[in-house]
Structure 1
Amino acid sequence: MSSKIKACVTAAAFMMTGVAFAQAPDAKPTRIRGDIVSASDDTITIHRRSGDTVTVDIKKETPVAALRNIGLADIKPGSFVGTAATTGTDGKLTATEVLVFPEALRGAGEGHYAYDLSPDSTMTNANVDQVVTGTSGHDLKLSYKGGSNTITVPEGVPVVALAPATHADLVAGKKIFVLAAPVKGSEFKGLQVVVEKDGVVPPM
């Protein structure tokens, strides 16, 4: 398989993962973050950051992705990114992580809205119009359908890109991010998965 074809196949496989990273406000699925306690052929048990333990049904067709670390220098004008941020008392947005999407995922979850990574966090999926280097990091001037904003990305904030993963990477001890649909009680149906691989933990 040529590298170009492989890249296209990989991007297609991650299409839903891009949406998982930043669901629009009217979406109903739950974001599950935590550590894999155990995994079988079609079920994983996750100890969530919130302290409870849940069971997630993972089908063979459920998209699974990983991430790889990149640098601030890899964010360039024209990049399409998804970034969680917090709002300071001065109203300015400061990134807590940034995902640089492959070109095939341009437009995934586009917009700016509330996010549940931390209290008062936001998510912006947008095009990078300009990158300005300052004393506190890089200022990303972003535009999306219906608006624009500027987000400061300090040095040390995770900047990642998508990487291949399979269901074989879903093993006990790995950190995981799952977009899931509630079934009943502590049971969920997995829709999209991002799993720790090669030491890179999902920052979303």
Structure 2
Amino acid sequence: MPSIPFRLSRSWLAPVILAGTLAVGIGAAGAQDAPPVAVRGTITTVGADILKIKTNRGTDIDVKLDGATGVRGVALANIAEIQPGRYIGTAAVPQPDGTLKALEVHIFPPEMAGTGDGHRPWDLTPNSSMTNGAVGDLVVANGRTITVKYKQGEKKVVVPDDVPIVDLEPGDRSLLAAGTHVVLFARKDGDGALTALFISAGRNGVTPPM
């Protein structure tokens, strides 16, 4: 998820910017400023203002929706879209030689260049990180080896041919259907209930890899 130009609505842009800042340690608003809860799984049932989700860990949970919940689509992309100048995010793990090995790459539309700029810990796997920045140097050989440049520095990332590559697209609640794979961050309310801040929903059976 080449990218088709579109006009970003403020309702979609705001949660996507939040996606880029959550991992820096910014907590959701609340009495205890608790950090958002990451949920990865598949929607099993959709209600008017609630989703039932089977998580990747096999548990069943309910996640509430409210007027501020944002939705974006996640669609398949091609590794050839990773070109110098494109703004991307990549979850990755360190390698012995000091480079990073990508676990996934998501490609931002041009309108969102700069979103979540930087390098920070991520929770996809143990020791994983998230790096958002512009593609600089690129070497094509057995995949791609790229330099991801951000304001405070740069990282060299190896992107194997079999790593999931996706485009981020605008979306709405019509994407939220039984069987849809999602990644979401939610606010944990005082009673323990979860309310989604934003949802990344796979299009056409895609599983958001981030």
Percent of aligned positions that are identical: 31
AA of the residue aligned to 2:151: K
TM-score relative to the length of structure 1: 0.88
Pairing partner for 2:87 from 60, 77, 80:
80
Size of the aligned set, in residue pairs, is 199
Taking the aligned partners of 2:100 and 2:85, their CA distance within structure 1 comes to 20
Partner of 2:161: 155
Partner of 1:101: 108
Partner of 2:30: none
Q: Identify if the C-alpha distance between structure 1 residues 112 and 127 changes in structure 2 by more than 3 Å, giving closer, same or farther.
A: same
Pairing partner for 2:49 from 42, 55, 58:
42
Partner of 1:203: 209
Deviates more, 1:38-47 or 1:20-29: 20-29
Taking the aligned partners of 1:12 and 1:110, their CA distance within structure 2 comes to 20
Large movers: runs of 4+ above 6 Å: none
Q: Gapped runs of 5+ residues in structure 2? A: 27-34
Partner of 1:127: 134
Contact 1:175–1:201 (Cα < 8 Å) also in 2: yes
**Alpha-carbon distance, 1:12 to partner:** 6.4
Contact 1:86–1:96 (Cα < 8 Å) also in 2: yes
Deviates more, 1:48-57 or 1:188-197: 48-57
TM-score relative to the length of structure 2: 0.86
AA of the residue aligned to 1:197: R
**What SS does the corresponding residue of 2:194 show, helix, strand or coil?**
strand
Partner of 1:19: 18
Encode CA deviations 1:13-58: one digit per residue, 9 max, x unaligned.
2442253256332122121101112110111111212232221111
Encode CA deviations 1:116-161: one digit per residue, 9 max, x unaligned.
0011111000111121112x31011111111111001000211111
Taking the aligned partners of 2:47 and 2:91, their CA distance within structure 1 comes to 32
AA of the residue aligned to 1:77: P
Taking the aligned partners of 1:143 and 1:20, their CA distance within structure 2 comes to 19
**Alpha-carbon distance, 1:65 to partner:** 1.2
Taking the aligned partners of 1:19 and 1:155, their CA distance within structure 2 comes to 29
**What SS does the corresponding residue of 2:161 show, helix, strand or coil?**
coil
Taking the aligned partners of 1:96 and 1:18, their CA distance within structure 2 comes to 21
Q: Gapped runs of 5+ residues in structure 1? A: none
Partner of 1:9: 8
Encode CA deviations 1:60-91: one digit per residue, 9 max, x unaligned.
44211111212111111111100000112333
**What SS does the corresponding residue of 1:193 show, helix, strand or coil?**
strand
Partner of 2:182: 176
**What SS does the corresponding residue of 1:173 show, helix, strand or coil?**
coil
